[in-house]
Chain A
Amino acid sequence: ETGVTQTPRHLVMGMTNKKSLKCEQHLGHNAMYWYKQSAKKPLELMFVYNFKEQTENNSVPSRFSPECPNSSHLFLHLHTLQPEDSALYLCASSLSLGEGVEQFFGPGTRLTVL
């Protein structure tokens, strides 16, 4: 499989549940990202990882907990979410954080919090 994959594609969870989103990239990239896209809002960057190290946390609430065990995998652990957290969560990767480097996005996980 090539590119950036995300699982699950759709997720419905209650506010007391704990779930995890998974992202995997098969591009040999070293940087990975989580974005959130709420209805009728622009994409918002959540986290950036470079060589497994977190380099950016865009003031994300602690109920979202990222994990990057290696450069190919990125997780977003979810617990005690709120209905307003319902959104499309997108993972992306890039070769590096450097100049003129494009990011490749996965298809996203559509999350609904009841």
Chain B
Amino acid sequence: DAKTTQPPSMDCAEGRAANLPCNHSTISGNEYVYWYRQIHSQGPQYIIHGLKNNETNEMASLIITEDRKSSTLILPHATLRDTAVYYCIVRQNSWGKLQFGAGTQVVVTP
């Protein structure tokens, strides 16, 4: 699976958009980009995933660059409950394996 690079931490003001970057320069054509988050001491929560096109759901938007070497997760209106570690994962799907890295610790402040 392609490795991902994320900043270790970032702060965001409550009510503002949070833009979380992820680099995956070695991604191959059949690998999806997944985003999960983990609130302290809880199990990871699925957020969104995509292959080539940008995706949006009730939680977030995923913007994937045209060359697919990087992506951005956008939380449109961050709340205090969005404080968590956010994981960007690139996965080749046939094996079902999610390889988690260190993620980005996002702290939303009032």
Contacts and interface: CB of A to CB of B under 8 A. Distances in A.
Interface in A1-38: 4, 31, 33
A45 B98 contact: yes
Nearest to A6: B43
A43 B100 contact: yes
Nearest to B103: A42
Given A42-B102, A45-B98, A102-B34, A97 B43 contact: no
A79 to B, nearest CB: 25
A45 B44 contact: no
Determine the interface band of chain B, counting residues with CB < 8 A from chain A: 20 to 34
A107 B43 contact: yes
Interface residues of A, number: 29
A71 interface: no
Given A50-B96, A94-B96, A108 B42 contact: yes
Contacts, number: 64
B45 interface: yes
A97 B93 contact: yes
A26 B49 CA distance: 23
Nearest to B96: A97
Interface string B33-62: 010000001111110010100000000000
B48 to A, nearest CB: 9
Contacts of B32: 99-100
The list of the 4 closest CB pairs from A to B, nearest first, reads A105-B43, A97-B96, A43-B100, A99-B93
8 contacts: A31-B96, A43-B100, A48-B96, A56-B96, A97-B95, A99-B30, A103-B98, A105-B45
